[in-house]
Amino acid sequence: MSSIRVEDGYFTLFNIFHTEDPAGQKVLFDQWRSLPPANVQPGLVSGNFHRGLDGRSVVNYAQWESKEAYDAFLSERATQGRLGSALTVSRLDNIPCEVVHTWHPEPRISLDRPLFTVVIVVRSAPEDQEAVLKEMTYDPPELAATPGYVSHAVHRGLDGEHVVKLAQWEDEESFRAFLDRPKEPSAIDGLDGVSVELYFSEIEYIRERV
């Protein structure tokens, strides 16, 4: 099980792989399942691999002790080989982040409780990142009483252009009902050049220290 907490200070990545079909997803998961435990890789805390429910994406929520440890991992020949193989069946968006806000209790990613997970990726001009963060870290009081809601965490993209929220729900129906509720206009709507992407997924494999 992986926990998402501000105080841990991990270097965090959303690795979003875009595949053509479920067959591509399977290739990626087969590759990752063949890796040794996370404690073999210096600095790796966990990799949390979510299968996209659309059959065309995989989201790896990766936690590292530091950027330096991650950079060392990327420089390894074996890593380069695996990445090259993965990119034959997918396209990769890599978003390095830091955790800046969580719901209470904080999100926990567990195979024993495979929650409906929504990853919301907001991209904006660097000068608008703080405005997006303010909007994304606001927790409306009624959220605690929303049926099916579990938890969330908000991440600041270290490139200055992204804010990413990972939200957990008991099921997709609860999330859809939440989307359909009457709501106030968002401050994000008034910003030029903002893009929002949503990924619906469920945890399938966790590579963590043992």
pLDDT at 69: 93
Residue 187 has pLDDT above 80, yes or no: no
Greater model confidence, 6 or 184: 6
The strand pair at 57-64 and 44-52 is best described as antiparallel
Q: What is the mean pLDDT of the chain?
A: 92
Residue 91's pLDDT band, with cuts at 50, 70 and 90, is: very high
Which residues, in sequence order, are bridge partners of residue 108? 3
pLDDT at 200: 97
Tokens of 73: 């991992």
Cα gap 53→22, rounded to integer Å? 9
* The pTM of the whole model exceeds 0.85: yes
CA dihedral sign of residues 116, 45, 162, 107:
positive
Tokens of 102: 């969580």
Greater model confidence, 107 or 186: 107
Percent of the chain topping pLDDT 90: 72
Cα gap 88→40, rounded to integer Å? 26
pLDDT digits (tens, 9 = 90+) for 6-28: 999 999 999 999 999 999 999 99
pLDDT at 103: 95
Mention every residue, 6+ apart, whose C-beta is less than 8 A from residue 147.
Answer: 174, 177
pLDDT digits (tens, 9 = 90+) for 37-59: 777 889 999 999 999 999 999 99
Residue 92 has pLDDT above 90, yes or no: yes
pLDDT digits (tens, 9 = 90+) for 105-161: 999 999 999 999 999 999 999 999 999 999 999 998 888 899 999 999 999 999 999
pLDDT at 136: 93
